[in-house]
Amino acid sequence: MTATRPPSSALTSFVVASRYLPVYVALLLLVLVAWLWAPATLTSAAMGAIAPYGTFLAIAALGQMLVIMTGGIDLSVPGTFSLAGIIVVGVGQVSDDRLGIAILTALGAAALIGLVNGILIGGLNLNALIVTLAVGQIVTGVLNRYYTTIAVQSSVPPALSAWTSTRFLGMSNIFWLGVGLTIVTMVVFRYTSIGRRFQVVGANPAAATVSGLRVNLYQVGAYVVAAVLYAIAGILLAAFLRSPGVNYGVPYLLGPIAAVVIGGASLTGGLASPLSTWAAAFFLAALNQMMRVMGLPTALQFVVFGLVIIGGMLVSGDRIIKAVERVIRTRGTPRRDDLEGMTVGVHGPDPPDDEHPGPRGAGGAGGGGSER
């Protein structure tokens, strides 16, 4: 009996990496389409316009990615996103001296929202979809009430808006902060024990519980960190706009989810790539810019966006992994005809029943043992 040979590390790496391939193929196709029909999208000016909006979406998508890695989903993003920016406007009072306390207050409020989500979902095992939708509605109500106490057309402190408009190597500080957060997330996942344990908790909560990991604690932490990331994105966009409206975070309800899905994350939890999520966010931002350059009506832009999300689901990471595993299993397993040919080649063809030596029922080669 031949022992089954375990898959090589290279093969395992290929199978895991294949789930993230579609987003990079989509980026290449987008560049090709833009080069043919909307070359203005590829100019340096257009890229400079895409970078900030891609970064806002990428940072929010990193937060959503953490939640999806636990097998959940977060629909409180728009409320948390908007509340953080409006708090910076309200607490900052257009004063650079109050910028620090304004940012800390905004991040603290976001962390509290994430903690509430985490306790209700990770601690009480309530449905993530319903909980985050309800919490998002509560946050939106608080946001609208708080917005009425702020002077009309108030703006963020000047130092913050000046920092976001400063450029380094041709790109704004917003872009470089997004790159930094992505790199930090990648390092935590790959090189720290807490990052590796977090991925184990998401991939197999039952096994993680048996091994002694506190699954609910990691789930709560995911919602808290995610909310802080939403707040960072909201603060940056508020600084970019200078005078944000009360509902400026509404477009970020489905965008981060789409970026995570297109980026190849496993919707059942566990596996995701910060780099691929970042790439997917910029793909969506570039797609939006290309449609504007092409002059497509707003209604048609929504249709295209929806089709892209559906396409991302059709080639999602989970489906890619299953397809690759199926191909490898098929190629690695000999066909039935091959097995029969191997048997004939080794042992020779079986003689007909009447050519077997010895009488039937006498326990010879042709018999099946004596009849009873």
User: What CATH number is given to the structural domain containing 221?
Assistant: 1.10.3470
Where in the sequence is the domain holding 67, given as residue range(s)?
18-325
Q: Is residue 26 part of a domain?
A: yes
Amino acid at 252: Y
Q: Is residue 371 part of a domain?
A: no
Q: Is residue 189 part of a domain?
A: yes
pLDDT at 174 over 80: yes
Q: Is residue 12 part of a domain?
A: no
Kindly state the tokens that stand for 191. 């090189």
**Confidence band for 333, pLDDT divided at 50, 70 and 90:** low
pLDDT of residue 348: 47
Q: Is residue 150 part of a domain?
A: yes
pLDDT of residue 10: 61
**Confidence band for 324, pLDDT divided at 50, 70 and 90:** low
- Find the helix or strand (DSSP H, E) in which 107 lies: helix 99-118
- Average pLDDT of 225-240? 97
Distance of CA 204 to the CA centre of its chain: 18
- Average pLDDT of 229-251? 93
Q: How far is CA 32 from CA 29, 43, 262, in A?
A: 5, 14, 19
The phi and psi torsions of 226 (rounded to 5 degrees) equal: -60, -45
Could you tell me what percent of the chain has a pLDDT over 70? Answer: 80
Instruction: Round to whole Å and give the CA distance between 64 and 215.
Output: 18
**Lowest model confidence (mean pLDDT) among 29-33, 64-68, 128-132, 266-270:** 266-270
More confidently predicted of 196 and 269: 196
The mean predicted confidence, pLDDT, of the chain is 83
pLDDT at 355 over 50: no
Structurally, the chain folds into a number of domains equal to 1
pLDDT at 134 over 90: yes
pLDDT of residue 97: 93
Q: Is residue 29 part of a domain?
A: yes
Q: Is residue 86 part of a domain?
A: yes
Q: Is residue 11 part of a domain?
A: no
**In DSSP terms, which residues pair with 171 in a beta bridge?**
168
pLDDT of residue 322: 66
**Confidence band for 359, pLDDT divided at 50, 70 and 90:** very low
* pTM of the predicted model as reported, rounded to 2 decimal places: 0.82
Instruction: Round to whole Å and give the CA distance between 102 and 108.
Output: 10
More confidently predicted of 371 and 122: 122
pLDDT of residue 68: 95
**Confidence band for 183, pLDDT divided at 50, 70 and 90:** very high
pLDDT of residue 13: 57
pLDDT at 276 over 90: yes
pLDDT of residue 364: 42
- Average pLDDT of 14-21? 67
- Average pLDDT of 85-95? 92
In terms of Cα–Cα distance, which of 154, 181, 177 is closest to 166?
177
pLDDT of residue 318: 61
pLDDT at 34 over 50: yes
In the chain the beta strands, taken as DSSP E runs, fall at 167-168, 171-172
